[in-house]
Amino acid sequence: MRILIAGGGEVAALIARRLSREGNEIVVLEQDSDRCAHLEETLDAKVVRGSAASVAAMRAAGIRDADMLIAVTSIDEVNLLACLIAQAESQVKVKVARLRTHEVDHWRRICKESGVKIDLIIHPESEMARRIRPVLSAPGVSDIIEFAGGRVKLFGMTVERGSWVEGKTVVDLDRAGPPKNSLIAMIFRGSQVIIPHGAQVLQADDQLYIITAVDEFEQTLEFMGLQRPVAPERVFILGGKQLGIQLAEELEQQGVAVKIFEKDMQRCRKISEILNKTIVVHGDGTDAATLTDENIKGIGAYLALTNDDEDNLIASMLARRLGARKVVALINKLTYLPMAQRLGISTHVSPRLTTVDRILQFVRKGRVLSVTTFREEEAEAIELIASPDSRYVGRQLKDVPLPREAIVGAIVRPTGEVIVPRGGTTIEAGDRVIFFTLERIVPKLESAFLAEGRRERR
């Protein structure tokens, strides 16, 4: 597939790196000459210098021969113009644009009414808010990710020193009688990613990801030694940008008492005009005295959502020390994600990874429904629909030659039945199948999963 990426920032580089490894032909159009030089050194892709808002530059980058356009420059208007140029100048099949404006819904409507066809408009702030909301009411849980329209949940947790699961093998836990449809899908241990098998021993500080049917979610939490979900009564938010305002607005509607800390007085006034019940504090939300004066002890959650990763990490550690029950940090630099984990900040969100995840499901072969990337692109959860021609269909999992670094976490039948499979489970045509695997295994796994059975039998 020929893919033109408009913009050469970090998100564009991530996408280009992933898609070129999967055999796609990538062209990156970037205006800055120094950035172009860097991309040429680090990517297996053609790099063209020019603006995505220029018809001539888009032609030079090959828009007329492209199968897909991914517009992820730092300027919303340029991304929209790139899609408009692509529609006028080519027969490109799929167009994707990232928009950061809070008016994104208006732009979706305008594009639809004016006939500008954009297959996917990604709004990173909304994607991150969707990731943050569920974990606020779940003590001890770092992530909650839904699959199959909410019928399957994946949650992250840390093995605490002295907990009953420390030192147990996966088989030991299975013998202890967990909810039927639950399974440890991944383990992150330091820099290591483990797709676990029966003899794997759980260690203190391991980050586990456990998949379960939605109706067994609370039972699975209790089995692992965690509390049932409890809605927070109070939440502090550091940073009065778009994401913080959006979350505060949603929490207000749920009856949660919210305080936003913002150092810019003009910004404070603007936030006060937008929000109805949220208390806006003009002050430094990373200052211990300020947080103590505002009664941080015992708050349900502290969300560090500034554009400064270092501030977010430091503030999260401070908030936890001062008595916040849960801390969430916004992390832009992917290299900081392992550091956040080592510092005990297990709940973090990345605008870059959320953008990449949404784009990958548009590019991947077959009927890919969702893609979720973990840490520095080290592991993925990928949800596909089983094709009738797949060589996996009709075979028991114990007879399917899956790579050792991959596991089938859940199967959802077309009827809605959720199965966390064992060796005797059979994949049927039309099933939603949720795999967990190392990132480097994804192309092999997809190729095998979507291969036509007729070809394999020849």
Q: Which of 393, 375, 376 is nearest to 384 (CA)?
A: 393
Q: Which of 83, 120, 129 is nearest to 102 (CA)?
A: 129
CB atoms within 10 A of CB 292: 12
Residue 179 near residue 131, CB atoms below 8 Å: no
Domains of the chain in start order, with CATH, are: 2-122 (3.40.50.720), 139-223 (3.30.70.1450), 231-343 (3.40.50.720), 353-457 (3.30.70.1450)
Please say whether the dihedral angle defined by the alpha carbons of residues 270, 273, 275 and 279, taken in this order, is positive or negative: positive
Under the banding of pLDDT at 50, 70 and 90, the label for residue 335 is: confident
- How buried is 233 (Cβ within 10 angstroms: 0-12 exposed, 13-18 middle, 19+ buried)? exposed
pLDDT for position 450: 60
Q: How far apart are CA 165 and CA 361, in angstroms?
A: 35
Q: Quick check: 297 pLDDT over 50?
A: yes
Greater confidence, 311 or 405? 311
Q: Report residue 277 as tokens.
A: 């019940």
Among the listed ranges 156-170, 249-263, 372-386, which one has the minimum average pLDDT value? Answer: 372-386
Per-residue pLDDT reduced to its tens digit, 129-150: 999 999 999 988 999 999 998 9
Residue 55 near residue 89, CB atoms below 8 Å: yes
Under the banding of pLDDT at 50, 70 and 90, the label for residue 456 is: very low
Per-residue pLDDT reduced to its tens digit, 53-86: 999 999 999 999 999 999 999 999 999 999 999 9
Q: How far apart are CA 191 and CA 375, in angstroms?
A: 10
Under the banding of pLDDT at 50, 70 and 90, the label for residue 452 is: very low
pLDDT for position 376: 65
Phi/psi for 338 (5° steps) reads: -60, -35
Residue 383 near residue 433, CB atoms below 8 Å: yes
Q: Quick check: 45 pLDDT over 50?
A: yes
Q: Quick check: 411 pLDDT over 90?
A: yes
The DSSP output letter for 50 is S
Mean pLDDT (the chain) is 91
Under the banding of pLDDT at 50, 70 and 90, the label for residue 366 is: low
Q: Quick check: 458 pLDDT over 50?
A: no
